[in-house]
Chains A and B, each alone.
Chain A
């Protein structure tokens, strides 16, 4: 029997990561799914105002892209960012508290779903502006290079963002300055209602890498191992000082763009077809097939994730609201001359 660590028929993730890390990865994918379901449920029950962008169906992209990152490494995220937070080890209670607008939340109730960040874990934050994170990621990579920290930045963005000027300007600067940044496009085929076919002149976003002289690959974003293999290689290249790469994870969002979406731009059949390609089901199967987990252990991981989310919601619900008098706190740095 061939050694799994060297057999190239064995999927990359299985060859590369310890059973414990793979279990943790699946656990995180469950956490993301349960977080999103809990968020949706809280919204329906009127506990959350505003809107939200759920990433159900995109869990492998979030978790797989962060596998080779440490707390020193940075990410920039998007409006659809809950999964990225969880992948970068955010505290679920603080995430839910932010969602509920509480003082105990990541942004002390000031930011909400679209602005959750955890700088202590290298998560520079979600963003309400499509494409807003791209140049910031390049800036983080510039810091890492100048300061010699060895950190890599993974920059998440959607297919829609690739038509913002910020995307093109960012890729160019990252390439010209050979910066340690990995651009991870989560291509879920639509920017709100507009399909890439109607918005984007190239067939695959990864083709755009060529214009900026960097490697570009397209992978099945619902295949955890494929995502990990592509992003890990790009991260390693960045760490070696060889500059940026673009990885395009093909995936799909099961839910509407936000709560007001009537899904008039896609068919029920298309949604159903993609729901058949559930990244969590695929990852569970991968780990069971390779005898890393039993079916029962997969079930236990899912239950554990559900419990953590319930506790996070309870923590958030019981947390205090911010004080009205402090609405203008933190506009400037306290103590600095204004």
Chain B
């Protein structure tokens, strides 16, 4: 086996891929620091930072007190003045405590100051349901931040992408919010070695198909791919698009697919109403791709409730593979 094939074969978990990206950044750029709760000796609530503190010390891998508003604001101030902080929220839900600094400060300061400053800040948000942690530890709040001009919001779905997008975020002069689904942390996949970037604002076609387009985000990409495998032999050839970035959204990739297939399902875990799917649907409805639609657009999103604790209820309130299968069959067979 030559070196090249070995590299191609290399697999890391999603969490390991994030850690590798942070390791590369810390090693190559003195301005990079990590901040967050219990990211030092504890290794992070989801063991993402792991042992980085041993390598870089507590001056660069900083445990903050339990102070989300203050901590996030310190990261904003540091980013404004020469550092490149990577700020970890222990759970994305706790960003609610820091909305002031994210929304009123980080997102707007460049604009408010007429473009004279920038905020090269990266924030990481462990997100989503499926861990039995109930209403305050399971939300998918990416659409909240996606609503704010000034922020870039990404939802990488693979180990390769999360590493590449984190490194791209570090090169970006503006604040980038990275939503990491907790269920993905242990998922393994191929990850190239060394430094590379994955573009922010560009969707990926994970499976080409001609009958139906599914635009999915984060964990839902994997559910959509599983559904597509079942639907193929039934004669429904599904194209699965991994949106990857919700702000700015990759309009061209989505519209081109819809022009080809004429059918669209949006699958996302956040609450359905006023969510990512609404934006994708509107984007299609406002474009020429609308004329190519053979059926109404279908949105599969989270139920209109907080995430419940009971495991069966918890599964029931976010889209699952059978929900995608039902929607796809109904669309393909003209029942919608």
Contact = CB atoms under 8 A, between A and B. Distances in A.
B136 interface: yes
B140 to A, nearest CB: 16
B82 interface: no
Nearest to B100: A165
A327 B45 CA distance: 28
- Chain A CB within 10 Å, residue with most, of B43, B136, B303, B308: B308
B66 A130 contact: yes
A322 B313 contact: yes
Contacts of B37: 191-192, 194
Interface string B209-237: 00000000000000000000000000000
B308 A194 contact: no
A126 to B, nearest CB: 10
Interface stretch (A111-119, A180-188, A273-281, A285-293): A111-119
B66 A110 contact: no
A191 B65 contact: yes
Contact of A327 (B40, B42, B308): B308
Contacts of B135: 110-111, 115, 128
B308 A110 contact: yes
Contacts of A114: 133-134, 136-137
B304 A112 contact: no
A265 B136 contact: no
Nearest to A98: B309
Contact of B65 (A127, A128, A129, A200): A200
A110 B97 CA distance: 23
A194 B38 contact: yes
Interface stretch (A54-62, A156-164, A204-212): A156-164
B133 A50 contact: yes
Interface string B102-146: 000000000000000000000000000001111111000000000
Contact of B134 (A128, A165, A198, A265): A128
B133 A194 contact: no
Contacts of A265: 41-42
B83 interface: no
Given A110-B313, A198-B63, A328 B305 contact: yes
Nearest to B137: A128
Contact of A193 (B41, B67, B133, B313): B41
A281 B228 CA distance: 61
Interface in B301-330: 303-306, 308-313, 316-317
B42 to A, nearest CB: 4
A264 B70 CA distance: 26
B69 interface: yes
Interface SS of B by simple majority? loop
Interface in A84-131: 98, 101-102, 107, 109-112, 114-115, 127-131
Interface in A312-330: 321-322, 324, 327-328
Contacts of B305: 327-328, 331
A101 B66 CA distance: 29
Contact of A51 (B65, B133, B313): B133
Contacts of A164: 66-69, 97
Contacts of B306: 110, 331
A327 B94 CA distance: 24
Contacts of A331: 304-306
B42 A109 contact: no
Contacts of A48: 132
A261 B45 CA distance: 9
A226 to B, nearest CB: 27
A21 interface: no
Nearest to A128: B136
A45 B230 CA distance: 34
A260 interface: yes
A129 B308 CA distance: 16
Nearest to B316: A324
Nearest to A130: B66
Contacts of A102: 310
A199 interface: yes
A192 B42 contact: yes
Contacts of B66: 130-131, 160-161, 163-164, 191, 194, 199
Contacts of B40: 193
Interface of A: 48-51, 98, 101-102, 107, 109-112, 114-115, 127-132, 160-161, 163-165, 191-194, 198-200, 260-262, 264-265, 321-322, 324, 327-328, 331
Given A160-B65, A265-B41, 18 more contacts: A49-B131, A50-B132, A51-B131, A51-B133, A98-B309, A110-B306, A111-B135, A128-B93, A128-B136, A161-B66, A191-B65, A193-B40, A193-B42, A193-B63, A262-B42, A324-B312, A327-B305, A331-B306
**Considering the complex of A and B, which 9 residue pairs feature the smallest CB-CB distances, nearest first?**
A50-B132, A112-B309, A128-B136, A101-B310, A49-B132, A193-B42, A163-B65, A199-B65, A109-B310
Interface of B: 37-38, 40-43, 45, 63, 65-70, 93-94, 97, 131-137, 303-306, 308-313, 316-317
7 contacts: A110-B134, A129-B94, A163-B70, A164-B97, A194-B37, A322-B308, A327-B316
